[in-house]
A = this chain, B = another copy of it.
């Protein structure tokens, strides 16, 4: 394993410590509960937003904390759900009189931790709701999931509810917007290589030199099928067809198009992938209203990409265009 790590058990804590050191004016790291929060949270007149999941998907979600997006993120260890008591403590730290919305990607372990924390928080008198994100069209059930998985589409949910919360929307309204964005968002990814978790020290699965995993999960879960490596145009064509056909997105739709790198794919390749996806959509009469190219939700050092589409209306477009002051880039 060739990585910048010390003791693998310290990997997440040392990453979070670096994140807070690099953003001393805006972020706070709370080592007891392994969480990153806005230095100025809670904001009394704003719904607070909390996201959590396993680590290893950075910049999701710890680098999406800041004005205009999350109030806190409570990551677990690499590819492990956060403990329920860490989620509970996070909710306590950022609870606002306007309530708390919990954003949860649809994995069984994350659901359990957040549902338990939601119950404990409600018993304390906190007004809290939970929203599940499940944008991955690749498979119906999966290794760690009943129903569809939540992947890079979570970025758009976080961004839209973050903007709505800043504008003063109440908890029901923020929840409605999150549900709405999730309902028009679809993603699919593919892996060229496996990823290597620091504590394991070797690739999480075997992928031959001439094969790719089409529809891979962000924890290396199996996708739709293992295929031969092909040209970028052919592989991206499969991704785009799968995503477009699912909602479906149709001629006349206006969309946000995201090409997300899974951690080991250079930005130059991501723009090549973007160009292919853009031309395919334009050829079908689908207008690209907003473009996102970069890393949003990764799988450690996996080489691969995912494609996400969001069907835009004026409400969603305006919320996505809102300001955000977070460590990751936002356009």
Residue numbers of A with Cβ under 8 A of B are 2-6, 11, 14-19, 21-23, 55-56, 58-59, 63, 192-193, 209, 212, 229, 231-233, 235-236, 263-276, 278-279, 288, 291, 293-295, 298, 300-301, 303, 305, 327-329, 331
Rounded to whole angstroms, the CA-CA distance of A42 and B326 in the bound complex is 32
Q: Which 7 A-B residue pairings sit nearest by Cβ, starting from the closest?
A: A18-B275, A329-B329, A18-B271, A22-B291, A2-B192, A4-B232, A4-B269
Q: For the complex, what is the distance from the CA of A331 to the CA of B275, rounded to whole Å?
A: 27
Taking the nearest CB of chain B, how far is it from the CB of A242, in angstroms? 16
- What's the least CB distance linking A49 to chain B, in Å? 21
Q: Which of B23, B265, B295 contacts A291 (CB 8 A)?
A: B23
What's the Cα separation between A298 and B263 when bound, in Å? Answer: 14
- Which of A56, A209, A269 has the most chain B CB atoms closer than 10 A to its own CB? A269
Residues of B within 8 A of A328 (CB): 329
A21, A23, A58, most chain B CB atoms within 10 A: A21
Other-chain residue from B21, B55, B233, B278 in contact with A22 (beta carbon distance below 8 A) = B278
Look across to chain B and name the residue whose beta carbon is closest to the beta carbon of A278: B21
Contact between B272 and A4 (Cβ–Cβ < 8 Å)? Answer: yes
Count of chain copies: 2
Closest residue of chain B to A63 (Cβ to Cβ) is B267
- A to B CB contacts below 8 Å, 11 in the list: A2-B209, A4-B265, A5-B232, A5-B272, A11-B268, A18-B275, A18-B276, A19-B274, A22-B274, A264-B301, A266-B298
Cα separation A265 to B291 with both chains bound (whole Å):
24
Q: Is the CB of A269 within 8 A of B5?
A: yes
B266 x A58 contact (CB < 8 A): yes
Q: Kindly identify which residue among B17, B58, B212, B266 contacts A275, using a CB–CB cutoff of 8 Å.
A: B17
Give chain B nearest CB distance to A283 CB in angstroms. 13
Nearest CB to that of A29 among chain B residues? B275
Of B19, B193, B229, B269, the contact of A15 (CB 8 Å cutoff): B269
Say whether A293 contacts B18, CB under 8 Å. yes
CA distance A137 to B221 in the complex (A): 43
Of the listed residues A59, A267, A279, A327, the one surrounded by the most CB atoms of chain B closer than 10 A to its CB is A267
Is the beta-carbon distance between B22 and A271 smaller than 8 angstroms?
A: yes
State in angstroms the CA–CA spacing of A272 and B13 once bound together: 9
CB neighbours (8 Å) of A291 from chain B are 21-23
